[in-house]
Amino acid sequence: MRVRTDAPLAPLTTIRLGGAAASLVDVSSEDDLVEALRAAEGAAAPVFVLGGGSNVVVADEGFPGAVLRVGIRGLSARRESGRVVVDVGAGEDWDALVARAVDEGWGGVACMSGIPGLVGATPIQNVGAYGQEVGDTIASVRAYDRARGEFVDLDAADCRFAYRTSVFRGSGRFIVTGVRFAFEAGRDVTVRYAELARALSVALEGCAPAREVRDAVVALRRAKGMVVDPSDPESVSAGSFFVNPIVDARGVLDIGRRAGAPPPHFDAGEGRYKVAAAWLVERAGFARGWTQGRVGVSAKHALALVNRGGATTRELLGAARAIRRAVRERFGVTLEPEPVLVGCSWEEDDL
């Protein structure tokens, strides 16, 4: 277990923002995790768990406690009841797992190719893309329960997966150390997302080989600056900054009335619909490439807020709040942030 003090956090995030952590602890086993938590509790220090840094925004002041980087590795696979059961350490790279799944014929994750980060982060916000969600392939999650002081294995139902959330998100109670996947065997993917269907030249709900799906998804993500690339300044972001809002049928009609055109929306079940947040952002006056100081909207995707060099977290949140305020005034919809905010607040009156 490696411990560093006054450790800069900005280089560990994809948006390259934020101050230092009082201590940064690299955890490589469950025993290390318990030891690190006991040390933090003994020092009365707050704890934050950092993964790949792709979905996090850290305050300029940093974090006044212990930042734990869970680097528990390992992968094992076996066939069970017609499925492929794969146990993966939280510290394994997510996209490397997707690549292997495609190669091995483990179905259910090809559409989530190119997403940066670690496996342990995926159940927390129920990562999803192009019609697939990770919660649909998870059998159980192993985590340390800080309330009970022991490791637990939560099955999929206990994880309470929903759109971009789960029992793990925002609670601080659980620290994920491993994920058990149950993949259906198969090398074809049912394409349920219109943009991807067009890229593959297949009908919606048609099938395409997983390898072709993976290649198409990565190309689409790269074109939007959503693949971390040191040579692409538009990728210096935290990914999508806003979650697609969910409204009822009346809400869809109201947005359309205010906009003068129906918004792109998708069935979210139970009479509710996901409205495209990127469409709302652009219709509210924030075109791709919009810049305010040293931050702005990506020139490639309206949902990504980009650090254009030398920015501060305060500047980023100021731009984000300006966008949220404009969308709310124009459409009556309040956007919520997708990244985890560390040491900083989303509230308008509290930077």
pLDDT per residue as tens digits for the range 251-276 = 999 999 999 999 999 889 899 999 99
Establish whether 133 is a catalytic residue: no
Give 1's pLDDT tier (boundaries 50, 70, 90). confident
Ordered domains of the chain (ranges, CATH) = 2-70 (3.30.43.10), 75-223 (3.30.465.10), 233-342 (3.90.78.10)
Active-site residue among 35, 104, 282, 338? Answer: 338
Res 351: pLDDT: 39
Res 348: pLDDT: 53
| Neighbour tally for 196: CB within 10 Å | 21
175 Cβ partners below 8 Å, 6+ apart?
33, 37, 49, 68, 70, 143, 144, 146
User: Exposure pattern of 251-266 as b/e (b: 16+ CB <10 Å)?
Assistant: bbebbeeeeeeebebe
Res 150: pLDDT: 98
Establish whether 338 is a catalytic residue: yes
Q: Side chain identity at 52, as an amino acid letter?
A: G
Establish whether 38 is a catalytic residue: no
Res 170: pLDDT: 84
66 Cβ partners below 8 Å, 6+ apart?
21, 22, 23, 24, 25, 36, 39, 40, 43, 45, 46, 47, 48
What are the beta bridge partners of residue 249? none
Q: Render pLDDT for 147-169 as a digit per residue (tens, 0 to 9).
A: 999 999 999 999 999 988 999 99
Active-site residue among 166, 235, 240, 298? Answer: 240
Between the alpha carbon of residue 48 and those of residues 18, 63, 116, 320, the distances in Å are 14, 8, 19, 23
The dihedrals phi and psi of 298, each to the nearest 5 degrees, come to: -55, 140
Average of pLDDT values for 298-326?
Answer: 96
- pTM, two decimal places: 0.91
Tokens of 74: 């390992």
pLDDT of 347 higher than 90: no
Active-site residue among 23, 69, 142, 164? Answer: 164
Res 334: pLDDT: 95
Average of pLDDT values for 228-245?
Answer: 94
Grouping H, G, I as helix, E, B as strand and the rest as coil, residue 223 is: helix
Average of pLDDT values for 185-210?
Answer: 96
- Percentage of the chain surpassing pLDDT 70? 99
